């Protein structure tokens, strides 16, 4: 019994440590098995492409091509890929709660603790797969992860790849 409680507590503690959050939605009527060629569209922005955008584009192309999709001009593609990146400031930190008890000789005791982590900034990524014929969304996914302002360029590339991979793993391929 004690081992089961310890296992459950460990799952709660270590399961909650990941800051990567991913969600997706799709049109159940879409014929994903007929999609072979994609066109990566410019993100919806007014400012020039940033280094982060270039990293995301590279990761999207690598992931889709590893899954067997081919890049094509927009007019010849089966689906269009559009993405958007951003930073969310002051995301509320997590709240954790712990308890414990024990005994020594004939004495026993317990403890309860709670903690709240501070606010943080998060990078966000949204990817939409769009039908070129009518502009309707076939699939959409969002990912968010803590970001550190002190990341190296290599760490930023790895984060872009991690976000894209986590998202596109959920993109159906029939």
Give pLDDT, residue 163. Answer: 93
Mean pLDDT of 20-42: 94
Q: Specify the residue for token string 């009527």.
A: 29
Q: Is the pLDDT of residue 29 over 80?
A: yes
- Most distant CA pair in the chain, distance: 79
Q: In the 3-class helix/strand/coil scheme, how is the chain assigned residue by residue? A: CHHHHHHHHHHHHHHCCCCCEEEEEECCCCCHHHCCEEEECCCCCCCCCCHHHHHHHHHHHHHHHHCCCEECCHHHCCEEEEEEEEEEEEECCCEEEEEEEEEECCEEEEEEEEEECCCEEEEEEEEEEECCCCCCEEEEEEEEEECCCCCCHHHHHHHHHHHHHHHHCCCCCC
Structure tokens at 155: 């760490």
Mean pLDDT across the stretch 11-37?
78
Q: How far apart are CA 140 and CA 83, in angstroms?
A: 10
Q: Which residue has the higher pLDDT, 117 or 102?
A: 102
Q: Give the integer Cα–Cα distance in Å for 132 and 124.
A: 25
- Give 56's pLDDT tier (boundaries 50, 70, 90): very high
pLDDT bin (cut points 50, 70, 90) of residue 3 is very low
pTM above 0.85, yes or no: no
- Report the distance separating Cα 140 and Cα 62, nearest Å: 19
Is 50 exceeded by the pLDDT of residue 158?
yes
List, for residues 112-143, the tens digit of each pLDDT value: 666 555 555 778 899 999 999 999 999 999 99
Spatial distance between the Cα atoms of 132 and 80, rounded to a whole number of angstroms: 6
Domains of the chain plus CATH, in order, are: 20-168 (3.30.160.670)
- Residue 87 pLDDT grade (very low, low, confident, very high; cuts 50, 70, 90): confident
């Amino acid at each position: 019994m004690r081992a089961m409680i310890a296992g459950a507590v460990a799952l709660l503690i270590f399961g909650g440590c990941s800051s990567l959050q991913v969600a997706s939605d799709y049109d159940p009527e879409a014929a994903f098995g007929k999609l072979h060629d994609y066109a990566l569209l410019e993100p919806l922005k007014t400012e020039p492409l940033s280094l982060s955008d270039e990293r995301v584009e590279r990761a999207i192309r690598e992931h889709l091509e590893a899954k067997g999709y081919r890049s094509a001009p927009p007019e010849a593609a089966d689906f269009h890929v559009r993405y958007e990146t951003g930073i969310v400031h002051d995301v509320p930190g997590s709240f954790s709660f712990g308890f414990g008890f024990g005994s020594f000789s004939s004495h026993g005791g317990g403890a309860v603790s709670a903690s709240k982590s501070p606010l943080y900034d998060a990078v966000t990524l949204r990817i939409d797969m769009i039908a070129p014929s009518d502009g309707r969304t076939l699939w959409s996914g969002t990912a968010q992860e803590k970001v550190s302002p002190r990341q190296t360029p290599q760490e930023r590339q790895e984060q872009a790849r991690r976000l894209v991979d986590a998202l596109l793993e959920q993109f159906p391929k029939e």
